[in-house]
C-alpha cells in the first residue's frame, strides 16, 4: 500500500472515531442505515461506578436484580456475633465496635458482587430499662431496592443494624 | 468521566444536587415542631416515630431533588442515663450521593433523624 493511501486510511479512521464520540458520525450512519445507533450512557455509568466501588470488572444483571433480605440478615448477624459476641457493654470500646460491625457488614455485602449502593447503620445501646424505637421511610423503586433490620441482644446491651440497598 | 451527549443525565446538575444543609434545616424544623414538649410514653412513641419518618420523607420530596432515591431513618429513645452509640457507613458514589442528620434531646427522650440521598443514573 502506498504511504499516501495508508495515511488517508488512518486519517479517515481517526476522523470517524472523533465524529463518533461527538455524535455526528452516529447521526450520519443512522441516517444512511435508517437505524439508531445509541450508547446506553446510564448503563455504562452504572458499570463504571460498580467497578470503582467493588474492584470487580463487571456485574451480571438478571437474577441479582432484587435485594435478598434473608441472605443479608444472616450475613449481618454473623458480623455482629463476630465483633461483640461474648462481650459486655464497655463505654470505651463502643466506638470501635460500631465501626467494626459496620465495616465488616459492608465488606461482606460488597463481596456478593451485586449492583447495589449500600447504607449500613448500627446502633448499640446499654440495657437500662429504657425504650428504643426506630423507623424508616424510603422513596425508591420498590421492585429492586430493599432494606433489612437485624436486632441482637445480650445480657448488657442491644444492637440494631439496618441495611438499605439501593439499585444502581 | 463519561462524556455527556444528547443531555443524558448521568450526574445531577449542581443546582439539583442533594444539599445536606438544606435537608438538615427541614429535619430540624419538623422535629422541633413535633417533639418539643413530648414526654416518652411507650404506647405513643412507636406511632410517633413512624409518622415522623413519613413527614420528613414527604418534606424532602417537596425539595425536588431530581432522580434521587431517599432513605429516612428516625431513632427515638428514652433518656435514662444509658450510653448509646450510632454509626453508619455507606458504599456509594461520593460525587452524587450524600446524607444529612440531626439530633434532638429533651429531658425525657432523644431523637436522631438521618436522611440519605442516592442518585439514580
Tens-digit pLDDT profile for residues B48-72:
999 999 999 999 999 888 889 999 9
pLDDT at A149 over 90: yes
Q: Tell me which residue range forms the domain holding A98.
A: 69-167
User: What does the radius of gyration of chain B's CA atoms come to, in whole angstroms?
Assistant: 17
Through-space distance between the first and last CA atoms of chain B, rounded to whole angstroms: 14
Q: Is residue A30 part of a domain?
A: no
pLDDT in the model for residue A39:
66
pLDDT-wise least confident of A10-24, A78-92, A126-140, B56-70: A10-24
ipTM for the predicted complex: 0.75
| B72 φ, ψ (degrees, to nearest 5) | -115, 130
Q: Is residue A32 part of a domain?
A: no
Q: In terms of C-beta density within 10 A (0-12 exposed, 13-18 middle, 19 or more buried), how is residue A24 classed?
A: exposed
Q: Is residue A111 part of a domain?
A: yes
How many C-beta atoms lie closer than 10 Å to residue B48's C-beta?
21
Among B90, B73, B118, residue whose Cα is nearest residue A149 = B73
Smallest Cβ distance to A118: which of B2, B78, B91?
A: B91
> pLDDT tens, A28-51?
666 666 555 566 777 778 888 888
pLDDT band per the 50, 70, 90 thresholds, residue A59: low
Cβ–Cβ below 8 Å for A22 and B5: yes
Nearest residue in B to A147, CA atom: B71
Q: Count of A–B CB contacts within 8 Å?
A: 163
Strand B84-91 relative to strand A132-139, pairing: unpaired
Cα A109 to Cα B70: distance, rounded to the nearest angstrom? 20
Q: What mean pLDDT comes out for the span B67-84?
A: 90
Cell numbers that stand for A68 in this block = 435478598
pLDDT band per the 50, 70, 90 thresholds, residue B102: very high
Q: What mean pLDDT comes out for the span B64-93?
A: 90
Residues of A in contact with B81 (CB under 8 A): 128
Q: Is residue A120 part of a domain?
A: yes
Collapsing DSSP states into helix, strand and coil, what is residue B19?
coil
pLDDT band per the 50, 70, 90 thresholds, residue A16: very low
Written as one string, the DSSP assignment of chain A is --HHHHHHHHHHHHHHHHHHHHTHHHHHHHHHHSS-----HHHHHHHHHHHHHH--S----SGGGS--HHHHHHHHHHHHHHHHTT----TTTHHHHHHHHHHHHHHHHHHT--SEEEEEEEEEEE-SS--EEEEEEEES-TTT-EEEEEEEE-SSEEEEEEEEEEE-
Smallest Cβ distance to B2: which of A44, A97, A106?
A: A44
pLDDT in the model for residue B2:
38
Q: Report the number of distinct structural domains present in chain A.
A: 1
DSSP state of B15: G
Domains, chain B: 20-119 (3.30.1140.40)
Q: Is residue A48 part of a domain?
A: no
pLDDT at B7 over 60: no
Report angle CA A155, A161, A162 to the nearest 5 degrees: 155
pLDDT in the model for residue B95:
87
Q: Is residue A143 part of a domain?
A: yes
Bin B59: left if φ > 0, else alpha if -120 < ψ < 50, else beta.
alpha
Residues of B in contact with A119 (CB under 8 A): 71, 88, 90, 92, 99, 116, 118
A165 forms beta bridges with A118, A146
Q: Is residue A50 part of a domain?
A: no
- With an 8 Å Cβ cutoff, is A48 touching chain B? yes
Cα A167 to Cα A36: distance, rounded to the nearest angstrom? 28
pLDDT in the model for residue B1:
38
- Look up the CATH number of the domain holding residue A134: 3.30.1140.40
pLDDT band per the 50, 70, 90 thresholds, residue A164: very high
Do the beta carbons of residue A167 and residue A115 sit within 8 Å?
Answer: yes
B99 forms beta bridges with B116
Nearest residue in A to B52, CA atom: A135
pLDDT band per the 50, 70, 90 thresholds, residue B115: very high
Q: What mean pLDDT comes out for the span A8-25?
A: 49
How many C-beta atoms lie closer than 10 Å to residue A8's C-beta?
12
pLDDT band per the 50, 70, 90 thresholds, residue B110: very high
Q: Is residue A19 part of a domain?
A: no
Amino acid at each position: 500500500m502506498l504511504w499516501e493511501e495508508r495515511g488517508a486510511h488512518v486519517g479517515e479512521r481517526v476522523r470517524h472515531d472523533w465524529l463518533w464520540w461527538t455524535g455526528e458520525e452516529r447521526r450520519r450512519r443512522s441516517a444512511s442505515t435508517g437505524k439508531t445507533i445509541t450508547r446506553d450512557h446510564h448503563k455504562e455509568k452504572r458499570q463504571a461506578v460498580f467497578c470503582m466501588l467493588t474492584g470487580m470488572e463487571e456485574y451480571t444483571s438478571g437474577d441479582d436484580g432484587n435485594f435478598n433480605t434473608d441472605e443479608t440478615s444472616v450475613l449481618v448477624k454473623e458480623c455482629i456475633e463476630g465483633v461483640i459476641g461474648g462481650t459486655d457493654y464497655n463505654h470505651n470500646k463502643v466506638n470501635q465496635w460500631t465501626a467494626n460491625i459496620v465495616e465488616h457488614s459492608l465488606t461482606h455485602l460488597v463481596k456478593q458482587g451485586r449492583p447495589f449502593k449500600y447504607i449500613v447503620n448500627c446502633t448499640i445501646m446499654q440495657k437500662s430499662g429504657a425504650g428504643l424505637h426506630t423507623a424508616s421511610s424510603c422513596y425508591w423503586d420498590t421492585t429492586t431496592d430493599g432494606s433489612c433490620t437485624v436486632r441482637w441482644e445480650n445480657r448488657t446491651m442491644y444492637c440494631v443494624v439496618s441495611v438499605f440497598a439501593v439499585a444502581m | 468521566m463519561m462524556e455527556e451527549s444528547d443531555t443524558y443525565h448521568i450526574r445531577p446538575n449542581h443546582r439539583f444536587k442533594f444539599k445536606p444543609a438544606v435537608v438538615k434545616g427541614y429535619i430540624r424544623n419538623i422535629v422541633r415542631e413535633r417533639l418539643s414538649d413530648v414526654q416518652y410514653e411507650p404506647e405513643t412513641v412507636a406511632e410517633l416515630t413512624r409518622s415522623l419518618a413519613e413527614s420528613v420523607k414527604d418534606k424532602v420530596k417537596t425539595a425536588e431533588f431530581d432522580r434521587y432515591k431517599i432513605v429516612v431513618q428516625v431513632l427515638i429513645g428514652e433518656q435514662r442515663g444509658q450510653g448509646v452509640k450510632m454509626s453508619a457507613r455507606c458504599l456509594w458514589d461520593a460525587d452524587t450521593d450524600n446524607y444529612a442528620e440531626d439530633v434532638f434531646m429533651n429531658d425525657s427522650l432523644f431523637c436522631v433523624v438521618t436522611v440519605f440521598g442516592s442518585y439514580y443514573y
